[in-house]
Amino acid sequence: MFARLPLSRSYHSTKGVFGYRPRPRPKYEGLNAAVQEHRNRNSNVYRWIEAYRNHGHRIASIDPVRFRAPGEPESEVDVRALPELDYARYGLQAADRIDPSGLVRVPSGATPELLSTDELDRMLRAMYCGTCSIELAFIESEEEREWLAERYERLIAQPMAADEQREIAELMLKSQAFDQFLAVKFPTVKRYGGEGAESMMAFYRELFRCAADADLRNIVIGMPHRGKLNVLTTLFGTRPAKIFRKFKGYPEFPADARAMCDIASHFHTSTDVTVGGKTFHLNMLHNPSHLEAVNPVSMGKTRAKQLALGDGPYGADGGLSKALNVQVHGDAAFPGQGINQECLMMAEVPNFEVDGTIHLVVNNQVGFTTPAARGRGTRYVTDLAKSIMAPIVHVNADDPEALTRVTQLAVEYRQRFGRDFFIDLNCFRRWGHNELDDPTMTNPLLYKVVHARDSIPDAYARRLIDAGVLDQDDVNAISKSYQNHLTAELQAHEQYEPERSYFERQWSGLQQPGDEVTVWNTGLDYRLLSHIGRESVRLPEGFHVHPHLKKTHVDARLRRLDEGQRIDWATAEALAIGSLLYQGYNVRLSGEDIGRGTFSQRHAMLVDQETNEIYVPLNGMHTAGVPEPGRFELANSILSEEAVLGFEYGMAIDNPNSLVIWEAQFGDFFNGAQIIIDTFLVSGETKWMVCNGLVMLLPHGYDGAASEHSSCRMERFLQMTDSRESRPDGDDVNLQIVNPSTPAQYFHALRRQMIRNYRKPLLVVAPKTLLRLSDCVSTHAHFAPGTFFQPVLADPDAAVDPRRVRRVVLCSGKHYYTLQSERKARNVSDVALVRLESLCPFPVQAIRDELARYPNAREFVWSQEEHRNMGAWTFVQPRFENMCERRIQYRGRPEGATVAVGVSKWHVRELEDVIKTTFQ
């Protein structure tokens, strides 16, 4: 059982909602009375010991490559150079005899009952000023501080068994042999090796051992380039032949995979690991070159594993999850990339918590060429972790045994408290950033020390030789044997057949789509939909709904469902989500204010006006006779786009039977998540064969709100697609983009995401004013069996005779209603309005079929409210002209440097201009 900090955030609910269960915090009994009394009697001694715990890290020997400025003495810094650690300051003398019980954990087996002050000083110095030191002062919880100090002092002093030492040495020597082999065989390839950070092997070895002891089921790792190939091949079961084949210029996927592939240092693994007879599944994720971007993805995938296991935040027993998240960071990237602050701020937020992450910072002490002193404004790379009061331990990479003990501490802490833990591994980069770079040009003194010292594996092996644990023949044999193995793998690379590691396990039965556009029946019997709609506003007895919502949301929805003629946008969304839940799919909707909806339209999460309790009506279906329905998770997020979207992507890539939706507060807010969109969402399948069906809702529409709240910049997304200008698109486009203009179209777009036998990300250019526009409604017939998402909507105006139409105006989304209103006002009957509901795939055949209805049309116009260099114009024009074989004219705003004007009168004048020119 673990204890949450008093400051931990939670919903204003004692009952919880799906994805968040309030966990009772065990009562902390406080310090043992005898211990407290002993500390009171020895208060000066205790203050001195606490000074070591709080300040010892400042002079600890955690730097394996400390170089001194000219004139600085060569001797180590005296402990008493830090006044806080001088026992005389606390009225103590060298000969004083001290009973350490209750004050400090003394190494077992060789401890006299009383210690002299000097003896205790040496012991404290070894614990807190040696090659390892912990930071505790900023942690508010006394229970956590006491537990950490006692467990740290116990573990750090434990001797290591010889067989463990040999295992660590062997792993590090293999890592070194791997890098040396690549340097010889592939001297011009950037490998981002692990030289100088080989102690990582000790971290992973102990992590796996502790995971087995804790009966964990899943470990999900997000890790950047540095040393990634080393751990993949040495510890994670990836065949070196796969790496060598890639370095030789061959693809990593079978020939029938439609993929563009990626570099080797972005590889992943998904494999079972057995330690001590216990097996868990290991996922190391693909990572892009955008440092730290993989971190929220790893959190999201971990969360999805917890959902699949039904434990942790999804469990009923309040226990910790059997799925563990691990993040490996770079020293320059961790404090430098804002996504890390966002991830930390999600760490204990309902619907985003993952029961604690273990962080390892591989501290090279230089970022590319930037020295540590200029890479941040704080003492340590890990200082950001103090914002969530996560424990931090600094370790010298020359001491892999200390790192092993700290890793054990990290796992034990996570298992007890369910919170994040940080390890700052101080190491170095033996070569430049990518082995082809010369670091001496910018950091000469640092690299003078680096190049003069032994490697970390060699130095550790020499220690074990001196201790009689190994001999030189053992060391040589380990390196030679692994070199022989790598040589054999290199010779076998041409025979190596890339494995088909996709569409397995939970993804079995799915596939990559073909180059045709398929149609999927997503309609349902209205009697079922009406029942689901009623469930979406059904409240428990005694629930006090807001009176305004009772009238405008609950009663109004019931009335619409009864009539079946004026189904609005929010109701259609509830029907789509509820019907997917009814069919057993899980749905997660994430974003800022999504429970209510930015425009107060959704109200999928209601709050009792008297008790403050939260209720999600659609989750009541599981008590309404529906066999095994899915569950609806509403994740009101922090004010973040990049990390939150990365989190949702991580959830989407794990399980194709969960519909994951991310809604931006306004459409243009997506640009805060551009890194995730570019490097994961739209390119993950072609780079890594990792599919996802994530939906992005980006509210869009020019309403006089100036630049920042008008456009979702659909032109950027259209440019990111692999749609073709001269051949029809198929379902295989990398990103599907729709701009639906009716509630039914939105309903079908959401449902087909799950009904299809493939998964593609979907961008919905979502409405704002259409949410309440009286003309933007659908009837029950639009949801009936046999109905589906239509890529093109014909002109519904009965007054328009197709034979008399001389001009066909193509448009999309909200703009249609503006043009339709103007056409009615002008009493125009020879202009047809055709809506492109799907922009990508570009619906060539559907457009051709629609144009065939107007045999006498001679003018074809694209009308939009966006500027000419924005919106869909530059995407539509070449495709329409190349494949529909007609010239098309532009009607809309002229080119602009910003999305929209900030003067209301100018906005109105521009809109009038667009409308007038469209009909002239």
Residue count of the chain = 920
C-alpha dihedral over 170, 171, 173, 175, to 10 degrees? Answer: 160
What average pLDDT score do residues 33-41 get? 94
Burial 843-854 (b: 16+ CB within 10 A, else e): bbebbeebbeeb
Q: Strands of 357-363's sheet, edge to edge?
A: 132-135, 392-396, 421-426, 357-363, 323-330, 218-222, 278-284, 269-275
Q: What's the rounded mean pLDDT across residues 369-392?
A: 91
Residue 255 burial (C-beta neighbours within 10 Å; 0-12, 13-18, 19+): exposed
| Residue 810 CB coordination number (10 Å) | 24
More confident residue, 440 or 591: 591
- Give the per-residue pLDDT at 22: 81
Kindly state the greatest CA–CA separation across the chain: 109
In this structure, what token pair is assigned to residue 592?
A: 């800022």
pLDDT at 409: 98
**What SS3 state is found at 862?**
strand
Report how far residue 739's alpha carbon sits from residue 745's, in angstroms, rounded to the nearest whole number: 9
Per-residue pLDDT, 9: 55
Which residue type is seen at 725? E
Q: Which residue has 């079922």 as its token pair?
A: 528
Confidence of residue 76 (pLDDT cuts 50, 70, 90): very low
The answer to whether 649 and 297 are in contact (CB under 8 A) is: yes
Taking the C-alpha atoms of residue 842 and residue 517, their distance in angstroms, rounded to an integer, is: 10
Q: 80-89, 185-194, 201-210, 232-241: lowest mean pLDDT where?
A: 80-89
Burial class (CB in 10 A: 0-12, 13-18, 19+), 645: buried
- What are the backbone dihedrals phi and psi of residue 69, each rounded to the nearest 5 degrees, phi first? -70, 155
**Is 563 in contact with 607 (CB distance < 8 Å)?**
no
Residue 572, CA distances (Å) to 526, 712, 771, 776, 779 in order:
12, 22, 11, 11, 10
pLDDT grade for 544, boundaries at 50, 70 and 90: very high
Q: Which residues pair with 280 in a beta bridge?
A: 273
Mean pLDDT, rounded, for 117-138: 95
Q: Which residues contact 194 (CB under 8 A, 6 or more apart)?
A: 175, 178, 179, 200, 226, 227, 230, 231
Distance between first and last Cα of the chain: 73
Token readout for 436 is 């082809």
Q: At residue 72, does pLDDT exceed 60?
A: no
pLDDT-derived band at 1, boundaries 50, 70, 90: very low
CA distance 868 to 56: 63
Whether the pLDDT of residue 588 is over 60: the answer is yes
Closest CA to 698 of 550, 540, 522, 899: 899
Distance CA 164, CA 691 (A): 40
- Per-residue b or e along 678-697, where b marks 16 or more CB atoms closer than 10 Å to that residue's CB: ebbbbbbbbbbbbbbbbbbb
Give 78's pLDDT tier (boundaries 50, 70, 90). Answer: low
User: Could you give the CA distance from residue 604 to residue 594 in angstroms, rounded to a whole number?
Assistant: 8
Cα–Cα distance measured from residue 718 to residue 721, given in angstroms and rounded to the nearest whole number = 5
Band (pLDDT 50/70/90 cuts) for residue 300 is very high
Average pLDDT of the chain, as a whole number? 93
How many helices (H) and strands (E) the chain has is answered by 28, 26
Chain centroid offset of residue 386 CA:
21
CA–CA separation, 403 and 832 (whole Å):
72
How far apart (Å, rounded) are the C-alpha atoms in residues 79 and 86?
Answer: 8
Position 90, amino acid: Y
Q: Are 737 and 717 in contact (CB under 8 A)?
A: yes
- Banded pLDDT at 113 (limits 50, 70, 90): confident
Given this model, what pLDDT does residue 823 score?
A: 96
pLDDT per position as a tens digit, 260-287: 999 999 999 999 999 999 999 999 999 9
The DSSP bridge pattern shows strands 632-636 and 132-135 to be unpaired
Looking at the DSSP bridge assignments, the partners of residue 835 are 793, 811
Residue 95 has pLDDT above 70, yes or no: yes
Q: How many CB atoms lie within 10 A of CB 885?
A: 9
Average pLDDT over residues 217-237: 95
- Helix (H/G/I), strand (E/B), else coil: 122: helix
Q: What are phi and psi of 619, to 5 degrees?
A: -80, -5
In this predicted model, which residue has the larger pLDDT, 76 or 846? 846
Mean pLDDT of 340-349: 96
Buried b (16+ CB within 10 A) or exposed e, 302-329: bbbbbbbeebbbbbeeeebbbbbbbbbb
Q: Which pLDDT score is estimated for 5?
A: 44
- Partners of 413 in beta bridges: none
> How many Cα atoms sit within 13 Å of 807 on the Cβ side?
18
As to burial, measured by CB atoms within 10 angstroms (0-12 exposed, 13-18 middle, 19+ buried), residue 897 is: exposed
Task: Quote the CA–CA distance of 202 and 763 in Å, as a whole number.
Answer: 43
Q: Name the band, by pLDDT with cuts 50, 70 and 90, for residue 444.
A: confident
Residues 805-856 have pLDDT tens digits of 999 999 999 999 999 999 999 999 999 999 999 999 999 999 999 999 999 9
CB atoms within 10 A of CB 634: 24
Could you give the 3-state DSSP secondary structure of residue 270?
strand
Contact 392, 133 (CB under 8 A): no
Rg (CA), the chain: 32
In tens, the pLDDT along 774-811 reads 999 999 999 999 999 999 999 999 889 999 999 999 99
In 418-455, which residue ranges form alpha helices assigned H by DSSP?
444-452
C-beta neighbour count of 358 within 10 angstroms: 23
Tens of pLDDT, residue by residue over 212-224, are: 999 999 999 999 9
pLDDT at 3 (0 to 100): 43
Residues 458-462: contacts with CB under 8 Å, at least 24 apart: 458/176, 459/398, 460/168, 460/169, 460/172, 460/398, 460/400, 461/169, 461/172, 461/173
> Is the pLDDT reported for residue 75 higher than 80?
no
**Residue 496: other Cβ atoms inside 10 A:** 16
3-state class (DSSP) for residue 799: coil
Count of CB atoms within 10 A of residue 203's CB?
A: 25
Residues 614-669 have pLDDT tens digits of: 999 999 986 556 678 899 999 999 999 999 999 999 999 999 999 999 999 999 99
Residues whose CB is less than 8 angstroms from the CB of residue 183 and which lie 6 or more positions away in sequence, other chains included:
191, 193, 435
Higher pLDDT, 293 or 500: 293
Which of the given ranges, 288-292, 406-410, 430-434, has the highest pLDDT on average? 406-410
Segments of 637-688 assigned E as strands: 658-663
Confidence of residue 18 (pLDDT cuts 50, 70, 90): very high
User: Do residues 292 and 334 touch, judged by C-beta distance below 8 A?
Assistant: yes
Q: 90: closest CA among 113, 120, 129?
A: 120
pLDDT over 60 at 4, yes or no? no
Distance CA 254, CA 601 (A): 47
481: left (phi over 0), alpha (psi -120 to 50) or beta: alpha
- Provide the strand spans (E) within 794-888: 807-811, 831-836, 838-840, 859-867
**Residue found under tokens 């994805």:** 19
Query: Where do we find the tokens 């098309």?
Result: 888
Residue 549: count other Cβ atoms within 10 Å of its Cβ: 18
Which band of pLDDT confidence, cut at 50, 70 and 90, is reported for residue 445?
Answer: confident
> Is the Cβ–Cβ distance between 630 and 601 less than 8 Å?
no
At CA 498, angle to CA 495 and CA 499, rounded to 5? Answer: 130
What pLDDT shows up at residue 366?
A: 86
- Residue 539's Cβ-count burial label (10 Å; 0-12, 13-18, 19+) is middle
Is the entire prediction scored with pTM above 0.75?
A: yes
**For 146-182, how does the pLDDT look when each residue is reduced to its tens digit (9 = 90+)?**
999 999 999 998 999 999 999 999 999 999 999 999 9
Collect all residues with Cβ–Cβ distance below 8 Å to 174 and sequence separation of at least 6.
201, 234, 478, 479, 482
